[in-house]
Amino acid sequence: MRALNIITLLLVIIGGLNWLLVGIADFDLVAALFGGREATLATLVYVLVGLSALWQLIPFTRALSAGETSAEAHIGHR
């Protein structure tokens, strides 16, 4: 579970940085790297980032309800 949380958090960060670039420079890095917005690989990255954001709602809601320390202990952080 910890590996999945790290991977999904990394993808959410990548997505956030991509949106930062879109906002300040009108540059979509994911599209540039993977062949345009309509490319299958770019679409896959967008979907994985979105699913990762949904997955990250789980530790977020745990942190809200149990306190940050308890939520992290529950998912196996040390």
Q: Rounded to an integer, what distance in angstroms lies between the CA atom of residue 1 and that of residue 72?
A: 12
Q: What is the pLDDT of residue 64?
A: 85
Query: How do residues 8-34 score in pLDDT, each as one tens digit?
Result: 999 999 999 999 999 999 999 999 999
Q: What is the pLDDT of residue 8?
A: 96
Sorting pLDDT into bands at 50, 70 and 90, what band is 41? Answer: very high
Q: What is the pLDDT of residue 1?
A: 73
pLDDT (mean) for 41-66: 92
Buried-exposed string 11-44: b where 16+ CB fall within 10 A, e elsewhere: bbebbeebeeeeeeeeebbbbeebeeeeeeebee
CA R_g for the chain: 15
